[in-house]
Amino acid sequence: MARRHDPERRQRIIDAAIRVVGRSGIAGLSHRSVAAEADVPLGSTTYHFATLDELMVAALRQANEGFAETVAARGGLEDPETDLAAELAALMGEWLAGERTGVELEYELYLAALRRPALRPVAAEWCEGVAERLSRRTDPVTARALVALLDGICLQALLTDTPYDEEYAREVLARVIPGR
């Protein structure tokens, strides 16, 4: 039985929500399903997250942090000597090579923002964060175009269930980067 004072409970609820969406999609997400997955009382989920939108915002924000950690760990985007197109293509390859369910989950939460306005600011944070980082290596318009292209390539790989083609990604990204 869980302790009454449980400082990790909020995080366990977020982790459980991510597992529920990964297994059952957004349609399977409810306070009840998350409470069961987290093994906490139903009231705990509504205490920490009054609405499902609040819970999805927390889950999407956590998913975004995972991608940001992958970007930071590689470090190549910061090095002006690194081939930007090759680094972005490798970064996408590393991200897509991870647990595919996790990548699909991130995109499901990201695309849920189409119907759930509460998620839009978090989805925008991801786009703006990546574009801001890319703006250190190129102009802001190109940075935003690269983010859109990264999204498109990832979605195509996920939706068509085809293997990620890093060389194709590198070539297409290079075409967008000025001076190449």
Q: Which residue is it, tokens 């175009």? A: 145
CB 59 within 8 A of CB 21: yes
* Whether residue 2 has pLDDT greater than 80: no
First-last CA distance in the chain: 61
DSSP string, 101-158: HHHHHHHHHHHHTTT-GGGHHHHHHHHHHHHHHHHTTS-HHHHHHHHHHHHHHHHHHH
pLDDT at res. 125: 86
pLDDT at 5 exceeding the cut of 70: no
What is the pTM assigned to this prediction? 0.80
Among 7-16, 49-58, 67-76, 123-132, where is mean pLDDT lowest?
67-76
Residue 80's pLDDT is 86
The pLDDT of residue 4: 63
pLDDT, residue 1, reads: 47
Task: Place 40 in a pLDDT band, splitting at 50, 70 and 90.
Answer: very high
Q: How many CB atoms sit inside 10 A of residue 156's CB?
A: 12
Q: 25: alpha, beta or left, given left = phi > 0 and alpha = psi -120 to 50?
A: left
User: Measured between alpha carbons, how far is 58 from 106 in angstroms, rounded to an integer?
Assistant: 12
CA–CA gap between residue 97 and residue 89 (Å, rounded): 12
Cα–Cα dist 125/71, whole Å: 15
Can you give the pLDDT at residue 16? 94
Domains located in the chain, CATH noted: 1-50 (1.10.10.60), 59-176 (1.10.357.10)
* 77, 84 Cβ separation under 8 angstroms: yes
pLDDT tens string 69-123 = 777 777 778 888 889 999 999 999 988 887 676 778 788 888 888 888 988 998 8
Is the per-residue pLDDT at 157 higher than 70? yes
**Mean pLDDT over all residues of the chain?**
87
What pLDDT shows up at residue 31?
Answer: 96
- For the chain, how many residues are written? 180
Nearest to 27 by CA among 69, 56, 60: 56
Given this model, what pLDDT does residue 180 score?
55
Separation CA 103–CA 95 (nearest Å):
8
Identify the helix (H) or strand (E) that includes residue 104. helix 100-112
